[in-house]
Amino acid sequence: MHYDVYIIDNLVKFNDFKEYSKDKIKNVNVSLFFHFQDLIEQIEFVDILIVHIDSMEYFNIIEKYLKTEPYTIFIINDNSDLKNIPNSKKYDILYNPLDFDKLIYKIKLYTDNIRNHLQLKKEEEFSNSIINNINYPIFSIDAEQIIFANDHFYELTNCYSTEELNEKYKNHRNIFEKEEGCITNLNNELLNNSKDKNLKVCLKDAQNKKRFFSIQKIYLSHNDTSIIVLNDISHEVEHKHELYKLLYTDNLTKFPNRAKLIEDLQNNTINLKAVALLNINSFKEVNDFFGHKVGDSILIDVAKLLSNSIRNCDYLKLYKFPSDNYCIVSTIESKDDFIELIKKIIESIYKKVFTFEHYEIDIRMTAGISFSDKNNKLITADIALQTAKKDHKDYLIFYDELDKFQEYENNMFWTKKLKSAFINDNIEVYFQPLVNNETLNVDKYECLVRLIDEDGKVVAPFFFLDISKKSNQYTKLTKIVIEKSFKKFENLPFEFSVNISYEDIENVGFLDFIKEMLKKYDVKNRVVFEILEDENIKNYNLLTSFIDEIKNLGCKVAIDDFGSGYSNFEHLLKMNVDYLKIDSSLIKNIAKNENSYKIAKTIIEFAKNLNLKTIAEYVENEEIFNIIKELGATYSQGYYFSAPIPEPNIYEFKKKITNE
């Protein structure tokens, strides 16, 4: 770039400067004027003016001819000359006797700054052109305001300039809406320091509709600004919200369901002090006699009555459990008040006449109450409820001795059975095939534990699995199944799965045992560890770490019983799993229960979005199989294809399917 330097000096004191500066300043043309008329003819555009104080009268005259405001340097004798220069602070100053090198330095400093400014401007224009072509809303901020936005952000906010944006939001802290799980402050410490890609914000668009975005902040230290990149995740948030409603809301009454209570307990968002389970007496008879439409109406009316009974107490909450069951929980210590409340509810239900069209229906309710600190309040309240119904009482409060004798007797019986089975090597593994829904081939097997009784009877785990946990034999049982399964499939070409629980993962040395077995048997690329995600999980970091270790060994991981009510979608997104196994309660009801169908469908679509394969267990008939195949589940497992068998026998199974 070329620069013009004009020197105004009527005393001809700069005659030698032009020659002196010729080789010292590149791309600079120095012109010396000491005739006023010559100066006026060429002064229209100038980059730098150098004015000797003795030529001040010339400068005062030519100011009106200048088309630009040039960088101006005055050469003065001493500070007393400053009073002769109007607005002297806006000009640069050098003193006589003039040092040419200092003047050259001033000129070079100015021209270098201009070049740098132009270069930065070109770079900024280039960056902005690139950003405008990125298909995301992007804007840039300084400490307070928006200084740049691309077209996508203008369209999103219905603004057309940064001035309009700053007028609309006043401060960039006002851009985002307050919404649960969203950040609002762009100077948020979490946003500045975190690599978490799950941070999100909420912003109202041009139609005043709330939109959700993942957010990335890129800090530019050279000019103390930041670039904000937004990625629209509104569809994902809405999808998750709909899924949340399906999973955690009773479809009929719209009150939170049992799964929601379990979720609240698991996340420590509620601290139970008292639980009451309430059941409508002989509700099946009402349904059978009056029909399901009337029955549904009563379920809704009862829910409203219960809700109204506790509406003034923020420490009480109502949950709608499956069928004709309700649950009221309290978060404060007030046993007498809670018991009195349940008594009044039972009495009000008894006095209430429920009407539907021309029907008048009287109903009664029974309640089980628990304040137990030693045992699970939900379980103990249910024990109290069942005992109250058996004893024909309106309500019963759980006490520690209730139902203990039968429990101890059963525990001792199966503990003895397990001990004998371990000694006599009577723990066996059965195998249930998993069928590829596209090819109808058996691609995998699930390994299932069985106990062989003294008389040769095969006993399902329903009878002894929980007892093995109470008697500290559960992990021993798991290890036997793992080794026998590894040995069985070492020379078979199938993928196979074994079940493990959080209790196993928590057990010291369990991971080392798996590593030892993988060294002993060459199955690492074919074994799948099925993990049941339930309310017993206390430390998700431990679970995630275990999964990562297993994956690093070459194994695969499945989440079992997904959709049972304990499944945590937030945690699932952070776990590196391969399969989701849809809970059997959803699959077995998928043909007759719309809610089960919707949840299963949502889970399958959710899994596809995460590139996870899905397994539908409890496929009992052709109707169920056709539905889950249509929904896009990857594999089927159930008695429609095969019961668990003592030996993997793919050839016999293929023959059976072909014959059918």
| C-alpha 79 chain-centroid distance | 68
User: Higher model confidence: residue 539 or residue 476?
Assistant: 476
DSSP codes, 67-87: SS--EEEEEESSGGGGGGSTT
**pLDDT band (50, 70, 90) for residue 655:** very low
Domain spans of the chain, in order of start: 3-123, 134-232, 243-401, 429-457+472-659
Domain 134-232, what fold?
Beta-Lactamase (3.30.450)
- CATH number of the structural domain 243-401: 3.30.70.270
Q: Are strands 579-582 and 556-562 parallel, antiparallel or unpaired?
A: parallel
CA distance linking residue 89 with residue 79, whole number of Å? 12
- The C-alpha R_g of the chain, in whole angstroms, comes to 40
DSSP 565: S
pLDDT digits (tens, 9 = 90+) for 295-328: 899 999 999 999 999 998 989 999 999 989 999 9
Kindly tell me if the per-residue pLDDT of 333 is higher than 60.
Answer: yes
Which range (424-438, 474-488, 562-576) has the least confidence? 562-576
CA distance linking residue 620 with residue 637, whole number of Å? 9
H/E/C letters for each residue in 475-522?
A: HHHHHHHHHHHHHHHCCCCCEEEEEECHHHHHCCCHHHHHHHHHHHCC
Q: Are strands 316-320 and 274-280 parallel, antiparallel or unpaired?
A: unpaired
Distances (CA, A) of 200 to 181, 237, 259, 267, 274: 7, 10, 26, 21, 37
Residue 134 carries which side chain, given as an amino acid letter?
I
User: Taking all residues of the chain, what is their mean pLDDT, rounded to a whole number?
Assistant: 84
DSSP 590: T
Determine the 3-state secondary structure of 28 from DSSP: strand
Q: Single out the residue of 88, 81, 84, 51 nearest to residue 66, CA to CA.
A: 51
Cβ contacts of 172-179, under 8 Å, gap ≥ 24:
172/141, 172/144, 172/145, 172/146, 175/203, 176/201, 176/202, 176/203, 177/202, 177/203, 177/204, 177/210, 178/202, 179/210, 179/212
Its CATH architecture, for the domain 429-457+472-659, is Alpha-Beta Barrel (3.20)
Kindly tell me if the per-residue pLDDT of 76 is higher than 80.
Answer: yes
Cβ atoms within 10 A of the Cβ of 19, count?
9
pLDDT digits (tens, 9 = 90+) for 246-267: 788 898 999 999 988 988 888 8
The pLDDT of residue 657: 47
Cis (ω within 30 of 0) for the bond into 97? yes
Its CATH architecture, for the domain 3-123, is 3-Layer(aba) Sandwich (3.40)
